[in-house]
Amino acid sequence: MQINAMVREPYLTIDTKRKKSMIIHCLIIIQGFIMKNSKGILLRALLCFALSYFLCAQFITQPTVCSAKIYKVKEHKKPAGLKGEFIAYYDFQKKETTYYDKNEIPTKKFQKKMNYKPQKPDEKLIQRYKVKSVNTPTKLLNTNFTSDVNTTGTSLYSYLPDNRIKVSSSQINSFPYYSICKLTMTFPDSPGYVTLGTGYELWNKLCATAGHCLLNSNGKYFNSIKAEFGYNNGTCIYTATDDDLAGYVLHGEFDGKNWSPEIDYAFLHWNKDIANNVGHFGISWSYSSGNTCLSAGYPSDKENGEYLYKSTSTINSIDDCVIDSNNYCMPGQSGSPLYLPGGYAIGITSGNANDRSMFSVQLDNGITTWLNQNGYFD
């Protein structure tokens, strides 16, 4: 497997140490020539000053070369020997994956000051229309849901009270529900089936979801994907498919088989701005244990994911980028938003605990800063 390691543009790709050494050597020769052949002390001084100024400028104005390497591979092949925390971006057009060092500092060109406030869509564009029903059976997305029934068919655990409430057809056209989408995916190892999940628009071209919604527990990437925003029993506000994808972002270590909530995130990167159609959530980091939190998704155990269900609860704990809350969670809700009142997202639903409480990967400052600095919030 061929791996191309490079420095991300517009950083210099030349060996600056070698360049500076050559400059110094040449300037010393030129300076010696001036001192030997120039007449007059003033002329010599002026020429030496000009050369010294030019030499200093070479050291001061040269951009710093980024030491972080970037790996590009065909399709979804993973480079061997990656060290550190990497983020993978799959380009839908080029059919290649690029692994970026999460700690890489990009150029100022990509840095954009954000207010991270929610945005509502253009009300004139919110028009419900009929969507063809999927006639194929639904295979539930349950790779991260442990078996909670013993051989006699009785429960092994005590569950939280089910606090999920159906979002009505009149509410579905209001914020933030029209920014949440029902995801249906097909996978190569499950022909004839669709897999159910949830996503939500985080920014103009970014839809957040769980990593295992795109890469299943067998290590297979989706064949096709459909995002239906504001979906309600066969109708929706807006539909996006893989034809609308520029690419998607995953944690570099996530391979589907090594599921762990802190790396179970993904971002669908659309090739166009759809915020005017569906709006988007805001982002907040001002919260702590005990705060009120909300969630909404398309659970498969409730009418086979045909309706959006919401819940309100409290944050139990925040540990290692994972938020544990008392929101009741079942398959199909993977990728749903965990958010604060006002529509400020704080996490992406990954799965449930034995008591069916929800745990979500935190929208920590690291990943959102990386997305912003690499141009995904443009």
Look at residues 292, 262, 267 and name the one whose alpha carbon lies nearest to residue 280: 267
Contact in structure between 209 and 266 (CB atoms under 8 Å): yes
- Per-domain residue ranges of the chain: 16-61, 87-148+157-373
Rounded Cα gap, residues 210 and 212, in angstroms: 5
Report the C-alpha gap between 217 and 264 in whole angstroms.
Answer: 12
**Token pair listed for 335:** 């990728």
Pairwise CA distance, residues 208 & 278, whole Å: 14
Give 344: exposed, middle or buried? Use CB within 10 Å, 0-12, 13-18, 19+.
buried
CA distance 142 to 147: 10
Q: Which CATH number fits domain 87-148+157-373: 3.40.50.2300, 1.10.150.240, 1.10.150.130, 2.40.10.120?
A: 2.40.10.120
Distance (Å, whole) CA 207 – CA 239: 12
How confident is the prediction along the chain (378 residues), in pLDDT tens digits per residue? 322 222 222 222 223 333 444 455 555 555 555 555 555 566 566 655 655 555 444 444 333 333 345 777 888 877 776 766 788 889 988 999 988 887 765 544 444 555 678 887 776 655 543 344 443 334 444 444 443 433 344 445 678 899 999 999 989 989 999 999 999 999 998 888 899 999 999 999 999 999 999 999 898 999 999 999 999 999 999 999 999 999 999 988 888 888 888 889 999 999 999 988 999 999 998 899 999 999 999 999 999 999 999 999 999 999 888 999 999 999 999 999 999 999 999 999 998 888 898 999 998 767 887 888 778 877
Taking the complete model, does pTM exceed 0.85, yes or no? no
